[in-house]
Amino acid sequence: MAGPGPGPLTDLLARALPAGPSSIDDSLPVCRRRCAVVALSLHCMMVWSGFRRAGKEEPGGPLGWMAALAGRRRRYAPPERWLEMAASTPEWYFRYTHPNLPGLFLLGCSVQESTMRMIVHVREQGWRDFNAGVMLGLDVGHYAVAEEKFEEAAKKGWEGLVTSQNRIWDNFYSYISEPLIRKASQSDEGNGIDGSPGRFRQAVTFIAKISVVALVAAGAATVVRGTRR
């Protein structure tokens, strides 16, 4: 089942890096910069789906609303050092929280450069089984302009670099966003991904036990007071 996108993916990329493709370190090989465009696209789709980049707190104070507004405008921005690892290996990692789900979510994009195949894996930190996350394989060539055209296309902005936008939205929704949120909800409300009770159920059980202990203690105190009378 395909989910509706918010419109052109290039609009989200422009919010992430307003300076355009020139923001991607040109010291990286062109093949790796193509992969970076796809990885950044996936990051933007995660944010559009409701995930928030980890470590970004809403500011407070009397002028906090102004800073918060600026923060929301920049919520698509990638981590400052998101390209650092790509200098040595074609991998990109992003961390998120979600307002309706506890825990930290990890997005990893790893590319086999001989085939230009990207493995996308998203999981919640704490899930013991690697296979418990969601995974998607992408052919970078389907979503980023060809290597020999990259330099010239980059001069036109994000519109020149990103291809098959509807296709990547469909794949993201069907294989990443929808199943990830479903699995995370099951982990929190029912049995955990590793077969243990989910955090929500554990918390409810713990609170129930405390309540029982408190009621027993209160009853015992009443009996003692009644005996003294």
- Nearest-CA neighbor of 24 among 117, 112, 169, 151? 151
- State the Cα–Cα distance between residues 128 and 116, nearest whole angstrom: 29
Q: Residue 227 falls within a domain, yes or no?
A: yes
Q: Are residues 207 and 183 in the same domain?
A: no
- The structure tokens listed for 214 are 């408190």
Q: Are residues 129 and 220 in the same domain?
A: no
Q: Residue 60 falls within a domain, yes or no?
A: yes
The single-letter DSSP state of residue 204 is H
Which residue range is the domain that position 211 belongs to? Answer: 197-229
Q: Are residues 168 and 225 in the same domain?
A: no
Q: Are residues 108 and 21 in the same domain?
A: yes
Q: Are residues 98 and 207 in the same domain?
A: no
pLDDT tens, residue order, the chain (229 aa): 444 455 689 999 999 999 999 999 989 999 999 999 999 999 999 999 999 999 754 444 444 434 444 455 579 999 988 998 888 999 999 999 999 888 899 999 999 999 999 999 999 876 555 556 899 999 999 999 999 999 999 999 999 999 999 999 999 999 999 999 888 877 654 443 333 334 433 433 333 444 444 444 445 444 444 544 4
Beta strands in the chain (DSSP E): 52-53, 91-98, 101-112, 117-124, 134-139
The single-letter DSSP state of residue 195 is S
Q: Do the beta carbons of residue 102 and residue 199 sit within 8 Å?
A: yes
Q: Are residues 127 and 228 in the same domain?
A: no
Q: Are residues 89 and 118 in the same domain?
A: yes
Residue 7: C-alpha distances to residues 77, 162, 214 (Å): 18, 13, 54
Q: Are residues 156 and 226 in the same domain?
A: no
Q: Residue 153 falls within a domain, yes or no?
A: yes
How many domains, in total, are found in the chain?
Answer: 2
Q: Residue 223 falls within a domain, yes or no?
A: yes
Q: Residue 212 falls within a domain, yes or no?
A: yes
Q: Are residues 104 and 176 in the same domain?
A: yes
Q: Residue 158 falls within a domain, yes or no?
A: yes
- Nearest-CA neighbor of 196 among 144, 132, 116, 122? 132
pTM value is: 0.74
Q: Do the beta carbons of residue 83 and residue 24 sit within 8 Å?
A: yes
Q: Do the beta carbons of residue 108 and residue 130 sit within 8 Å?
A: no
Q: The tokens 């969601």 sit on which residue?
A: 134
Question: Could you tell me the CATH number of the domain that includes residue 30?
Answer: 3.40.1000.30
- The structure tokens listed for 183 are 């699995």
- Nearest-CA neighbor of 86 among 154, 28, 144, 19? 28
